[in-house]
Amino acid sequence: MLTLLGLMDTQIEARDPETPGDGVGRTAQVFEIFGETEDASDELGLLIGRRGETLGALQYLLNVVTRHHYGEANHVFSVDVEGYKRRRERSLVEMARRVAAEVRDTGDVITLEPMKPAERRIVHLTLSDEPGVTTESVGSGNERQVEVLPTDYDDYGDDYDDYDEGGEYAGDEPVAEHDEDDVESVEEYDGEDNEAAAGPVDDEADEDEAGPVEDYAGEDDEDDAGPVDDYDDEDDEDDEGPNR
Q: Give the model confidence (pLDDT) of 93-106 as tens digits.
A: 999 999 999 999 99
Q: Based on the fold, state whether residues 154 and 107 are members of the same structural domain.
A: yes
Q: Based on the fold, state whether residues 37 and 112 are members of the same structural domain.
A: no
Domain boundary among 50, 82, 114: 82
Q: Give the model confidence (pLDDT) of 127-179 as tens digits.
A: 999 999 999 999 998 899 999 999 987 654 443 343 333 333 334 443 344 34
Q: Is the pTM of this model over 0.75?
A: no
Q: Based on the fold, state whether residues 102 and 207 are members of the same structural domain.
A: yes
Residue 229 lies in a domain: no
Owning domain of residue 155 = 88-216
Poorest-pLDDT segment among 44-48, 73-77, 117-121: 73-77
CA neighbor of 113 nearest in space, from 99, 103, 134 = 99
Q: Which DSSP category does 156 fall into?
A: H
The enclosing domain of 38 has a CATH number of 3.30.300.20
Cβ contact 127:241 at 8 Å = yes
Poorest-pLDDT segment among 27-31, 127-131, 231-235: 231-235
